[in-house]
């Protein structure tokens, strides 16, 4: 309780239930973790991006869609993207993906935490979805991230990407709504990439239905026919 901090209050007997207490502890812990992550990455952010990052990190009810974030900040989603472009930061959807990874890295630093438990807490579809996102953004597996320094390593990767953007070594942001930062549709359902299947599977040759073309009757055959 002390580690989570005092962010909420329980009113007895109104909130005298196990679920209310569990929700309160979860919210307080998430607030504490978000604050720690923000402190770790604040120096990497231009002031114009800090309100958006704080909003993403506080998403207690799951990842905030880009359009919803724009509404809460009182701007158009394209304005958010243009602001990120202007300061050399990833597009809003990419920035949201980084924020989710920052939170995941911080939680995975805790002893005994598994990828699956972290994915569940951060509303990923599965542990595989979290692994896939981490690998796409950094090329690292969770155990490699832990060995490289966890959150500190992730912040260094983020800084390096932003430096490349400012130097013009990366293409400009192209996302519009950009809410597909977690996984492909197949990954969101089962945690693995989807595999395109053929629209029709051919039957084995031995069982295939043979089509016999009608026999042409030649003129000579027609004259000799009875």
Range of the domain at 93: 18-195
Q: Residue 139's pLDDT band (boundaries 50, 70, 90)?
A: very high
Instruction: Please state, in angstroms and rounded to a whole number, the distance separating the CA atoms of residues 69 and 32.
Output: 21
For residue 82, which of 38, 102, 52, 37 has the smallest C-alpha distance? 52
CA distance 90 to 106: 21
Distances (CA, A) of 53 to 26, 64, 121: 20, 11, 19
Give domain status of residue 114, yes or no: yes
Q: Answer whether residue 218 is part of any domain.
A: no
Task: Please check whether residue 84 lies inside any domain of the structure.
Answer: yes
Give the total number of structural domains in the chain. Answer: 1
pLDDT at 63: 85
DSSP 64-100: PPHHHHHHHHTS-HHHHHHHHHHTT---HHHHHHHHH
CB atoms within 10 A of CB 199: 5
pLDDT band at 203 (very low <50, low <70, confident <90, very high): very low
Q: Is residue 70 part of a domain?
A: yes
129 vs 213, more confident: 129
- Does 13 sit behind a cis peptide bond, omega within 30 degrees of 0 on the bond before it? yes
The C-alpha atoms of residue 90 and residue 87 are separated, in whole angstroms, by: 9
How far apart CA 163 and CA 176 sit, in angstroms, is 22
- Residue at 13 is within a domain: no
Give the integer Cα–Cα distance in Å for 168 and 162. 10
In a domain, 171, yes or no: yes
Residue 192 pLDDT: 34
Alpha-carbon distance 222 to 226, whole Å?
9
Nearest-angstrom CA–CA distance, 85 and 87? 6
Residue 225 in 3-state DSSP?
A: coil
Question: CA angle 144-150-156, nearest 5°?
Answer: 100
pLDDT of residue 65: 93
pLDDT per residue as tens digits for the range 44-65: 999 999 999 999 998 866 789 9
Question: Residues 67-99: pLDDT tens digits?
Answer: 999 999 999 999 999 999 999 999 999 999 999
> Which position has the higher pLDDT, 39 or 210?
39
| CATH number of the domain that residue 163 is part of | 1.10.10.60
Burial of 111 from C-beta contacts in 10 A (0-12 / 13-18 / 19+)? exposed
217 within domain boundaries:
no
Please say if the pLDDT value at position 113 is more than 50: yes
Residue 46 domain flag: yes
| Helical (H) or strand (E) element with 223 | helix 219-224
Strands (E), 110-162: none
């Amino acid at each position: 309780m002390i580690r989570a901090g005092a962010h909420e209050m329980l009113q007895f007997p109104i909130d005298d239930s196990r679920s209310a207490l569990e929700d309160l502890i979860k919210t307080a812990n998430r607030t504490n973790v978000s604050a720690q992550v923000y402190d770790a990455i604040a120096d990497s952010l231009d002031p114009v991006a800090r309100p958006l990052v704080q909003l993403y990190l506080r998403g207690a009810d799951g990842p905030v869609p880009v359009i919803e974030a724009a509404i809460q900040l009182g701007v158009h989603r394209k304005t958010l993207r243009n602001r990120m472009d202007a300061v050399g930061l990833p597009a809003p959807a990419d920035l949201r993906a980084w924020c989710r990874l920052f939170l995941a890295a911080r939680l995975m630093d805790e002893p005994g935490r598994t990828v699956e438990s972290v994915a569940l807490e951060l509303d990923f579809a599965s542990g595989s979805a979290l692994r896939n996102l981490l690998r796409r953004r950094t090329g690292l597996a969770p155990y490699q991230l832990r060995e490289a320094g966890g959150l500190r390593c992730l912040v260094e990767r983020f800084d390096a990407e932003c430096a490349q953007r400012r130097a013009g070594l990366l293409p400009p942001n192209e996302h519009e709504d950009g809410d597909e930062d977690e996984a492909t549709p197949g990954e969101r359902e089962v945690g693995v990439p989807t595999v395109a299947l053929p629209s029709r599977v051919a039957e084995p040759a031995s069982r295939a239905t043979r089509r016999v073309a009608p026999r042409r009757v030649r003129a000579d055959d027609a004259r000799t026919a009875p």
